[in-house]
Amino acid sequence: MSLIWVCGVDEAGRGPLVGAVVAGAVVLDPNNPIEGLKDSKKLTAARREYLYEQIMEKAKAWGVGEASPAEIDEINILQATMLAMRRAIEDLTTRLGAWPDKALIDGNRCPELPIAAEAIVKGDSKEPAISAASIVAKVTRDRQMMSLHDLHPEYGFAQHMGYPTEAHFVALKQFGACDQHRRSFSPVRKVLENQNH
């Protein structure tokens, strides 16, 4: 009986007004367990970073996929999320050397895949592999936001990670949108419309 590889898949960054939507995919190694996996939103940033390193070291395979702001604007955030998830699984497949047997997807729908997939609502708190994927996605995206903060410190991305906070709205009104802002999201669109009048 060959081992069955099940990968957990989750995304980070559906809600922000800026940056890519990032997905993680992880196949855990039963012989190399990782303690303390849970939904990335319930962990401190330091704890996420620690677990991220553990996943990189101990998981059987992992992958990251993303869809850019331009892709989000073109096909909408839901389709872009599905695209990022598929890319994450493809990335994982490259490292694993084969498609996993099954994908467990956090949420209520699955991307189109050539393998069995199951959507699990609140899966990031039920399935360790999805928890691991949520950590990989969140840490990857947070690092992207820190880099973007270095390029555009005026928006305060390091504080709000691109989410629609009051401070972010104020900066948008003051400085307009940067090249990484999602033009199709209404707060960004409104700012751009006002600038053009």
- Give the model's pLDDT for residue 39: 87
- Could you count the other beta carbons within 10 Å of the beta carbon of residue 194? 10
Structure tokens at 178: 């940067």
Output the CATH code of domain 6-150. 3.30.420.10
Paired sense of beta strands 102-106 and 6-12, if any? parallel
For each successive 10 residues of the chain (197 residues), what is the average pLDDT?
85 97 97 93 94 98 98 98 98 96 97 97 96 98 97 96 95 94 94 79
Kindly report the number of other CB atoms within 10 A of residue 70's CB atom: 15
Query: Could you give the 3-state DSSP secondary structure of residue 65?
Result: strand
Distance CA(161)–CA(13), nearest Å, equals: 9
pTM above 0.75, yes or no: yes
CA-to-CA dists, residue 176 to 144, 180, 196, angstroms: 20, 12, 11
137 close to 107: Cβ distance less than 8 angstroms: no
Domain range list for the chain: 6-150, 153-196
Tokens 């009104």 label which residue? Answer: 173
